[in-house]
Structure 1
Amino acid sequence: MRLVARSLATATLGAALALGTTVPADAATTVLTTGHVDVLDVDYTSGALSVQLLDGTSGGVRRDPSTVELDVLAAAKTTVPSNSAYGFLGTPGSTVWILPQTQNANLLWPGWNSTDVASGVFQGNSLTLSLQSVSGGRVGVYTQSLGTPTVLFNSGDGLPDAKPLATGAHVHANWAFGSAGTYTVTFRVSGVLAATGATVSADATYTFKVLP
Structure 2
Amino acid sequence: MMNAPTRRLLAGAASSVIAAALAVAVPAAAQATVIELTSGHVDVLDIDHVAGGPIELTVGDDTGSTRVERDPSTVVFVVPSAAYTAVPSSSAWSFLGSGGYAYVLPQTNTAGLLWAGWDTTGVASGALQFNRVTVKLTDVQGPGGFSVFTASGGTPTVLFDSGNGLPDSLNVNRNTHAHVNWGFDAAGTYVATFEVSGVRTSSGQTVSATEEFTFEVG
TM bin, normalised by shorter chain, reads 0.7 to 0.9
**2:130 alignment partner in structure 1:** 124
CA distance in 2, matches of 1:68, 1:149: 28
2:42 corresponds to 1:42: no
Structure number with the bigger relative contact order (C-alpha 8 A, sep ≥ 6) is 1
TM-score (norm 1): 0.85
CA distance in 1, matches of 2:141, 2:86: 22
**2:58 alignment partner in structure 1:** 52
- Superposition CA RMSD, Å: 1.3
Deviation at 1:147, TM superposition (A): 1.0
The 5 Å alignment of 1:1-212 reads 27-45=32-50, 47-58=53-64, 59-91=66-98, 94-136=100-142, 137-211=144-218
* Deviation larger for 42-51 or 175-184: 42-51
Deviation at 1:106, TM superposition (A): 1.1
Q: For residue 124 of structure 1, give the secondary structure of its aligned residue in structure 2.
A: helix
CA distance in 1, matches of 2:147, 2:196: 18
Q: For residue 75 of structure 1, give the secondary structure of its aligned residue in structure 2.
A: helix
**2:27 alignment partner in structure 1:** none
* Structure 2 unaligned regions, length at least 5: 1-29
* Structure 1 unaligned regions, length at least 5: 1-24
Deviation at 1:95, TM superposition (A): 2.1
Deviation at 1:168, TM superposition (A): 0.8
Is the 2:97–2:184 Cα contact (8 Å) retained in structure 1?
A: no
TM-score (norm 2): 0.83
Is the 2:89–2:100 Cα contact (8 Å) retained in structure 1?
A: no
Find runs of 4+ consecutive structure 1 residues off by over 2 angstroms.
none
Q: For residue 98 of structure 1, give the secondary structure of its aligned residue in structure 2.
A: strand
CA distance in 2, matches of 1:138, 1:144: 18
Percent sequence identity over matched residues?
52
Deviation at 1:26, TM superposition (A): 5.4
